[in-house]
Amino acid sequence: MSQTETAEQLPMQIDWPRFVEFIGGKEKILLTTHHRPDCDAVGSELGMVHVLKRLGKEVMTANPFEVPPNFQFLDPDGLLQHFSKVPKDYMDSADLLLVLDTTAWAQLGAMGDVIRAFQGDVAVMDHHISGDDLGAILFKDTTAEATGRLVFEAAVHLGVEVTPEIAAPVFAALATDTGWFRFSSTTERTYQLAARIVAAGARPDQIYKDLYECETLARINLTGRVLAKTRTELDGRLIHTWISLDDFDTCGALPGDSEDLINMTLAVAGTEFAVIFVEQRIGGFKISFRSRCKLDCSKIAAQFGGGGHKKAAGASVAAETIEQAHSEVLAVVREAMQ
């Protein structure tokens, strides 16, 4: 199967004996994940750090970001770091660079150049359908609800006891990528996995509180501005909104404060597809798509060089204004919905 996949291809699943053998031959490992990280990215990376450390491996992280404040509670020891802080001798001597939760060059930001120059093996652990050819060894399961599941399964297959320090970030990854178990990706298997993670020491009540009940006034104000801009089309089936740099600055909000705001728009009765545009400091707009109809978000995102899942996906456009971004993207969505 090609490393560059399409939604029409058969689901991929991981050959776990091959993964165990592969990891067994590595001693010095680098982990990374995508920029503008969500909780699945952060939680999966932290969980894998602890899994590999319990195997006696040398492990460091090299990310294209500083940990967002709202996720720092998952990383009390400061294990997640920007790639610029990794000592050069470690980077040069590591024998594996493992990418978690993405197979897309666009999502790796400045880490893309690091990966291209890396002298050891590059591997990917991911659950997204779409992706690019990173020249990596793929450990990919497109049936998984979250990469967090794959980290838990990796621990089991590697014979590592799932401790509370592994369980907490992995539960956060699973819970958030399933919308706290309300998305259609949630199945009986999801609840079975959640029960095993809780039994291993995760505390859902505390994780939920840390994620959603420690809001800043800045995020609350940003939420209000975003919802006030929300508009519907196609008899209410399509809903969209946007966030400008001025919105962030006026509210004193951080980029991570925009996470999950798109899901609020789907609370409007009759909506089937949602789009949010987020203006970027480096220019252009990040776009997120959500679907609760037959329209496949990953297919829409792929038209703009992005990817993801059927129900949730993202991309970016190099538009100079929100009007240009709206014109370019919403025309594609309208045509697909009609």
Kindly give, in sequence order, each residue whose CB lies less than 8 Å from that of residue 297, ignoring residues fewer than 6 positions away: 289, 290, 291, 308, 309, 310, 311, 312, 313
Report pLDDT digits (tens) over 312-332: 899 999 999 999 999 999 999
Report pLDDT digits (tens) over 203-234: 999 999 999 898 899 999 999 999 999 999 99
State yes or no: pLDDT of 3 exceeds 60: no
Of residues 232 and 8, more confidence is placed in 232
Which H or E element spans position 125?
strand 121-126
State yes or no: pLDDT of 110 exceeds 50: yes
Which pLDDT score, from 0 to 100, does residue 215 have?
A: 87
First-last CA distance in the chain? 33
State yes or no: pLDDT of 8 exceeds 90: no
211 contacts 38 by C-beta, under 8 angstroms: no
State yes or no: pLDDT of 9 exceeds 80: no
Report pLDDT digits (tens) over 52-62: 999 999 999 99
Q: How confident is the model at residue 119 (pLDDT cuts 50, 70, 90)?
A: very high
Which residue type sits at 97? L
Query: pTM for the full model?
Result: 0.82
Burial status of residue 183 (CB atoms within 10 A of its CB: 0-12, 13-18, 19 or more)? middle
Q: Cα 2 to the chain's mean position, in Å?
A: 22
Report pLDDT digits (tens) over 161-188: 999 999 999 999 999 999 999 888 999 9
Tokens at 122, concatenated: 């590059």
Which pLDDT score, from 0 to 100, does residue 301 have?
A: 93
State yes or no: pLDDT of 11 exceeds 80: no
Report pLDDT digits (tens) over 258-280: 988 999 999 999 999 999 999 99
Which pLDDT score, from 0 to 100, does residue 307 have?
A: 84
Bridge-based pairing state of the strands 238-243 and 58-61: unpaired
Lowest mean per-residue pLDDT among 16-25, 56-65, 131-140, 218-227 = 131-140
State yes or no: pLDDT of 5 exceeds 70: no
Number of Cβ within a 10 Å radius of residue 105: 16
Q: What is the dihedral of CA 306, 308, 313, 316, to 10 degrees?
A: -20
Which pLDDT score, from 0 to 100, does residue 131 have?
A: 80
Which pLDDT score, from 0 to 100, does residue 255 have?
A: 87
φ, ψ (nearest 5 deg) of residue 212: -120, -10
Q: Cα 255 to the chain's mean position, in Å?
A: 14
Taking the C-alpha atoms of residue 87 and residue 100, their distance in angstroms, rounded to an integer, is 21
CA-nearest of 132, 103, 133, 99 to 114 is 99
Tell me the pLDDT of the chain averaged across its residues. Answer: 93
Residue 323 pairs with which residues in a beta bridge?
Answer: none
Dihedral of CA 287/292/293/294: which sign?
positive
Bridge-based pairing state of the strands 96-100 and 28-33: parallel
What mean pLDDT do residues 35-42 have?
A: 93
What mean pLDDT do residues 293-321 have?
A: 91
State yes or no: pLDDT of 90 exceeds 90: yes
State yes or no: pLDDT of 4 exceeds 60: no
Which pLDDT score, from 0 to 100, does residue 161 have?
A: 97
Taking the C-alpha atoms of residue 25 and residue 19, their distance in angstroms, rounded to an integer, is 10
Which pLDDT score, from 0 to 100, does residue 6 have?
A: 37
State yes or no: pLDDT of 122 exceeds 80: yes
Task: Estimate the crossing angle of helix 147-157 against helix 188-199, to 10 degrees.
Answer: 60
274 contacts 239 by C-beta, under 8 angstroms: yes
Q: How confident is the model at residue 106 (pLDDT cuts 50, 70, 90)?
A: confident
Report pLDDT digits (tens) over 187-196: 999 999 999 9
State yes or no: pLDDT of 138 exceeds 50: yes
